[in-house]
C-alpha cells in the first residue's frame, strides 16, 4: 500500500513539474539526434530555404518550472519532429482558469518547427 501511494505521488510530482507540450505535425520526418543543434528565430527568418514541419508550444504549468525549461522542452520536441530550427518564437499568457483565488495565467512559448532543404545551408 505504501509503495503504491509513493509511486502515485512520484508520478504526480514528475508530471506536474514538467512543461506541458503540444505539437501539430504537417509532415512526418525522422527525428534528429539528441545533441543536434536547433536554431531559434524570434523576429528574423532564416536566409536558407526550408519547409515547415509543424507547430509547437510549451506551457509553464507552475512557478517551479523555469522558462528556460520551457524553452528547452521546445528544442527537445523540435528534434523529435526532425527539425533544424524554430521560427516565429512567441510568448503569450493566456487565461487558463478563473476562480475565487484570481486568474490563472500560464506563460506559453510557441513557434513553427522547420527543416532546411539544403543540408549545406543552415542559417
Tell me the per-residue pLDDT of 44-73, one tens digit each, with 9 for 90 and over.
999 999 999 999 999 887 878 888 999 999
Per the structure, the complete domain to which residue 31 belongs is given by 19-116
- 91 domain-assigned: yes
Q: Which of 20, 32, 76, 22 is nearest to 54 (CA)?
A: 22
pLDDT tens digit sequence for 14-29: 455 788 888 899 999 9
CA 75 vs CA 44, 45, 65, 86, 110: distances in Å: 18, 17, 16, 8, 11
Q: Where would I find the H helices in the chain?
A: 2-16, 67-80
Domain count, the chain: 1
Set of cell numbers at residue 78: 523540435
Check which CATH number belongs to the domain holding 106 and give it.
Answer: 3.30.110.70
Rg of the Cα trace of the chain? 17
Percent of the chain topping pLDDT 90: 54
4 in a structural domain: no
Amino acid at each position: 500500500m505504501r509503495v503504491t501511494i509513493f509511486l502515485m505521488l512520484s508520478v504526480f510530482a514528475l508530471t506536474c513539474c514538467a512543461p506541458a507540450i503540444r505539437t501539430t505535425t504537417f509532415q512526418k520526418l525522422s527525428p534528429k539526434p539528441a545533441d543536434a543543434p536547433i536554431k531559434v528565430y524570434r523576429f528574423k527568418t532564416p536566409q536558407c530555404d526550408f519547409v515547415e514541419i509543424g507547430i509547437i508550444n510549451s506551457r509553464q504549468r507552475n512557478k517551479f518550472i523555469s522558462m528556460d525549461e520551457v524553452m528547452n522542452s521546445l528544442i527537445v520536441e523540435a528534434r523529435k519532429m526532425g527539425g533544424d530550427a524554430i521560427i516565429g518564437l512567441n510568448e503569450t499568457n493566456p487565461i487558463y482558469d478563473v476562480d475565487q483565488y484570481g486568474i490563472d495565467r500560464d506563460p506559453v512559448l510557441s513557434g513553427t518547427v522547420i527543416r532546411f532543404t539544403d543540408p549545406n545551408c543552415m542559417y
